[in-house]
Amino acid sequence: MTTGLSSAPRTLRVALMGNPNTGKTTLFNRLTGSRQKIGNYPGVTVEKKFGSWEYGGRTVVLVDLPGTYSLAAASPDERVALDFLTGNLAGEQPPDAVICVVDASNIVRNLFLASQVADLGLPLVIALNMADAADKAGIIIDTALLSRRLGVPVVRTVATKGDGIEALEKAVNHVVDDRSLMACVPWPESVDRAMARLAEGVDEAGVQRLSPGELRRVLFDPRSAVLERAGWPADADPALLLAPARGILAADGIQPASAEALLRYEHLGHLTADAIRFPEKRRRTWTERVDAVLTHRVWGMAVFILMMFLVFQSIYSWAGPFMEAIETGVAWVQELVAPWLEPWPALQSLAVDGVVGGVGGVVIFLPQILILFFFIALLEDTGYMARGAFLMDRIFGWCGLNGKSFVPMLSSYACAIPGILATRTIEDPRARLTTILVAPLMSCSARLPVYTLLIGAFIEPAYGAAAAGLTLFAMHFVGLAVAVPVAWGMNKFILRTHPQPFLLEIPPYRRPRLRDILWRMWERAREFLVRAGTVIVAITVIIWALVYFPRPDSVGARVESELAASGAGVEDISRRIDAAYIEQSYLARAGRAVQPLFEPAGFDWKITVGVLASFPAREVIIATLGTIYGVGTDADEESDDLRSALARDVWTGGRRAGEPVFTVPVALAIMVFFALCLQCGATVAVMAKESNWGWAVFAFCYMTFLAWAGAVLTYQLGTRWLAL
């Protein structure tokens, strides 16, 4: 044994697998502690998580594979799992061993996946997790006997309490040395013949060869992605290859479609029969009693709406004080830095407005992200999330979303960033992508200042407080009303992947652990800071440069001499200088250039510049308009100065010379534009990280177009037909 150890590799690679709802993530955290890294597998949006531990003089690197019920490779998660295990993932070697997490209350169904792994010839350890719940349910498991029957170590674990972790580490070390393989299914001889026939066909086609494990997957799963990977010439039809092989099975009286499941379950039933004893009489569980209320057609819906209201309130209001504190902190740092860089105005502006402002623009999202993920972790760990999806699926299912889209969509009403991060809870990749693409249409809290300013300045004076309230309410529905047909259209015409059936396990209710919840909050926050934060800071700096440059001294000098002659105050002069610089900045030049495009929406060049300047962050419009109208950058949406400056502004040329720029239709058109436009660099960055840059750019383009069309439509309807 000792000689075996010395010749064995010092670093082991181990995969962690298991069905969903088996406590796999908690077990991963217990095994690896804080030594974790998160990334994505190349080309797919499946999350790659790995960590490590030391045992018996070895470093063990544990890779957390997505939770799946099977290795059929019909979904991206399953495909990544299978490709990882067979060493077909770019840059990855097959693992030295696999830990399969099994729910101790439902051993046979969970072992189905383990037996598929065993067929690939990989050493295996079974972690019998949530063993305490099985005890409580009266299920008696003879672990030693089970281990003998299966031929691999079976370790009782309770991940939430940290029980069995060391035994699991020891067992991993042991199976690598011993190469313990789980008892394989005694396949009928016709299965071997069918696989041989398939292998011949693959050889004849001259494509990449498949391992026996992969051949078996192809034989049993007509939807398996394994065949696609082999690299077929464009005119070849892999299905033709399958027909004769599957014909061999049929001739032997084996139905290919259900053969694998039937044979595996039969085999596992035999192996486990005398090792597991279930209680004689089924008791009505606590879960069933709770569910009688929580999925009730009246009470269940009421509780769900109440819970979601609580979640929404928490991110919408509770995060407020923390966000204000961050804003104050950022302003404090800016004031601290500014005097140091006084001699170099460009550098000062870059540091203060570009870098510190950009970092502040990232950190500002943390309170909402942390609070939302506290609730999401709570909803998921208790098992309530599955009930919510069950209640809501009908509402979302028909347009290509699913019941799990609800939490991300609702969260996006506070802020699309935590909302998009929350789509991680959606397993179906297509529903997840659709949710990501429509989430930014929900009216987030950053749009509120724009609505408040324009409604306060134009709707309320003209039509009264009731109309103002109604307009504000309606603005929150514009995005949702557009999102539903957009989601439907995207599924119908753009996303061509196979839809995944919506099969959702309803797990028993479980007591959440604060430690795991806090860990999840920290994990998401850290990931946001590292992955999206860097992009957000970069975008902020670029936009800063477009507003700041060019900066010829002559502009400032001209304004100063003009105003000094008229006896204006120092503060007034400095505001006018800012306005003069922004008027000739690269961004303003762009604004003037594209203004004709916004002419049919009633926007003048100032509004257009404001709109362009708001693409990195929509709330910037207020400060930008404040600068352009010379009322200072500290103008806010309640500012009377800004409101009256807007109301006073008139067209200086063209056919509308002398008419006011801001009318009710213009105000409405601006609001519709802001409601539908993706004016948030941070959201674009997060979308890119959660899907890819292609989809992020697509979302940006379709929303910009919708916003433009919506604004034009609003203005034209308002001026021509409603005569507002």
**Contact positions vs another protein (CB under 8 A):** 69-70, 72, 74, 105-106, 108-109, 112, 221-223, 255-258, 260-262, 265, 295-298, 300-301, 386, 389-391, 393-395, 397, 403, 498-507
Closest CA to 400 of 451, 436, 346, 366: 436
CB closer to another protein out of 257 and 481: 257
Do 504 and 20 touch, CB atoms closer than 8 A?
A: no
Tally of CB atoms within 10 A around 299: 12
Do 350 and 359 touch, CB atoms closer than 8 A?
A: no
Q: What angle do CA 113, 116, 120 make, to 5 degrees?
A: 140
CB closer to another protein out of 59 and 255: 255
Strand partners, 58: 55
Closest CA to 241 of 253, 227, 251, 254: 227
Q: How far is CA 674 from CA 110, 377, 443, 619, in A?
A: 49, 32, 9, 10
Minimum CB separation of residue 125 from another protein in Å reads 22
Q: What are phi and psi of 639, to 5 degrees?
A: -70, 120
Minimum CB separation of residue 379 from another protein in Å reads 16
Minimum CB separation of residue 66 from another protein in Å reads 15
549: left (phi over 0), alpha (psi -120 to 50) or beta: beta
CB closer to another protein out of 83 and 428: 428
**What sign does the dihedral 617-621-626-628 (CA atoms) show?**
positive
Minimum CB separation of residue 256 from another protein in Å reads 8
Minimum CB separation of residue 352 from another protein in Å reads 53
The distance of Cα 564 from the centroid of its chain, to the nearest Å, equals 55
CB closer to another protein out of 223 and 289: 223
Q: What are phi and psi of 102, to 5 degrees?
A: -125, 130
CB closer to another protein out of 102 and 601: 102
Residue count (the chain)? 724
Helix (H) or strand (E) holding 97: strand 97-103
CB closer to another protein out of 90 and 298: 298
Minimum CB separation of residue 261 from another protein in Å reads 4
Do 102 and 21 touch, CB atoms closer than 8 A?
A: no
Minimum CB separation of residue 257 from another protein in Å reads 3
Q: For residues 158-183, b (16+ Cβ closer than 10 Å) or e, as one string? A: bbbeebbbeebbebbbbbbeeebbbb
CB closer to another protein out of 370 and 391: 391
CB closer to another protein out of 78 and 637: 78
Q: Which residue carries 């790659």 as its tokens? A: 48
**Rounded CA separation 80/223 (Å):** 15
Tokens representing residue 709 in the block = 């069309």
Minimum CB separation of residue 182 from another protein in Å reads 17
Minimum CB separation of residue 230 from another protein in Å reads 20
Minimum CB separation of residue 44 from another protein in Å reads 19
Tokens representing residue 548 in the block = 């700041």
Closest CA to 418 of 468, 461, 364: 364
In single-letter form, the type of residue at position 36 comes to: Q
Minimum CB separation of residue 588 from another protein in Å reads 52
- In angstroms, how far apart are the furthest CA atoms of the chain? 103
